[in-house]
A and B are shown apart, each in its own frame.
Chain A
Amino acid sequence: MKTSTIVRSTQIKALYMKKGLLLAAGLAIGITAFSQQRIFTRKGQVSFYSKAPLENIEAHNNAAVSVIDEGTGQLEFSVLMKGFEFEKALQQEHFNEDYVESSKFPKAVFKGKITDMSKVKFTSDGSYTVTVSGQLSLHGETKDVTTAATIAVRGGAVSGHAEFGILLDDYKISIQSLVKDKISKTVKIVVNCNYENMK
């Protein structure tokens, strides 16, 4: 009985650990004395675009979760792979089943940092170009990503925008040889988030 309670609490701990920064950030609500101001969204937009002779592919996800620590510039994005919506059902099926294997790898996560956070003044309106550097985990592979991003402050509301390219090979996403030369090997990823204060 006691053992099972311990196992249970270990499981709970493991679950909380897994949620990492997001959950920690959630739990830290109210302990503002120890944490810098964090901003977050649960409805971030992540889209990707692939242009090639055979077909142009685009898909959109409107439920990305993102947290930025305004003090340190640490940030994190999570997105459900099955949440990417394509116009054509067949493309969406191929994406989930053949390319990103979303049942095996349900999430993509980016963890990183705004390396020049001192440029951004959250108290005054403006548009700031910053550099974001971190690791993108997708399809079971983790790779370094560095990109320019824009942080815009308008009347206290913060939004973020970034565009960067990834190589499918880097994430071991393989395309059937039949269509290999006709589908783009790079994918453009566009991120747009409107943040709220975490209270």
Chain B
Amino acid sequence: MKKGKLILLIIVAALIGVAFYGWKEYHRQHPDTATIVAAFSVKAPDMLKAFQDDENLANHQYNDKVVAVSGTVLKVERNDSTQTVWLDGKSPMGGVICQFERSHKEELGKLQPGQPVTIKGVCTGMLMDVVLVRCALDNPTQ
């Protein structure tokens, strides 16, 4: 009888554990890019050129990874749903588009066109520009 109760208790505890894990996993949020160490540090024109030269290779190298991209701010755009920094790619075809995470949108207030900056974001590939999402300023205090 006692043993049976113990087993039941273990089963119930395990079920609760599984359910809790499932619930946590289902509601898991994206990690804050600012807290992730970048897999690569690269200059914006070099990154764009890597994609223009061999898109498949660059997709393989950069996509889904957190990349710290350094470059010159071309423009900053903000509206209700998006906040975007365009980095100069030194190319007539495009540059690097950095879409900021909502929690880091205040950081955009400090940025001016012409300013050098390093932005961390998750690379999603290239259309005309290389596109990074979930961006944050690297070393926002500097």
A139 to chain B, nearest CB (A): 15
Q: Is the CB of A90 within 8 A of B28?
A: yes
Q: Tell yes or no: A2 within 8 A of B by CB.
A: no
Question: Contact residue range for chain B?
Answer: 20 to 34
Q: Tell yes or no: A140 within 8 A of B by CB.
A: no
Residues of B49-104 at the interface with A, using a CB-CB cut-off of 8 Å, are 52, 55, 59, 63-64, 77, 81-82, 84, 92-94, 97, 99
CB-defined contacts of A96 to chain B, threshold 8 Å: 64
| A39-B126 Cα distance, complex, nearest whole Å | 20
Q: Is the CB of A26 within 8 A of B127?
A: no
Interface centre among B93, B94, B124 (most CB of A within 10 A): B124
Q: Is the CB of B84 within 8 A of A62?
A: yes
Given A15-B52, A63-B97, A88-B28, CB of A107 within 8 Å of CB of B133: no
Q: Is the CB of A65 within 8 A of B93?
A: no
Given A62-B82, A88-B28, A89-B29, CB of A80 within 8 Å of CB of B93: no
Binding site for A on B (CB under 8 A): 25-31, 52, 55, 59, 63-64, 77, 81-82, 84, 92-94, 97, 99, 124-129, 131, 133-134
A-B pair count, CB < 8 Å, reads 71
Q: Is the CB of A63 within 8 A of B127?
A: yes
Question: Contact residue range for chain A?
Answer: 20 to 34
| A128-B52 Cα distance, complex, nearest whole Å | 37
Q: Is the CB of B127 within 8 A of A22?
A: yes
Q: Tell yes or no: A185 within 8 A of B by CB.
A: no
A95 to chain B, nearest CB (A): 13
| A103-B77 Cα distance, complex, nearest whole Å | 29
Residues of A96-146 at the interface with B, using a CB-CB cut-off of 8 Å, are 96, 103, 106-107
Question: A74-87 vs B: 1/0 string, CB under 8 Å?
Answer: 00001110110100
Q: Tell yes or no: A159 within 8 A of B by CB.
A: no
B65 to chain A, nearest CB (A): 11
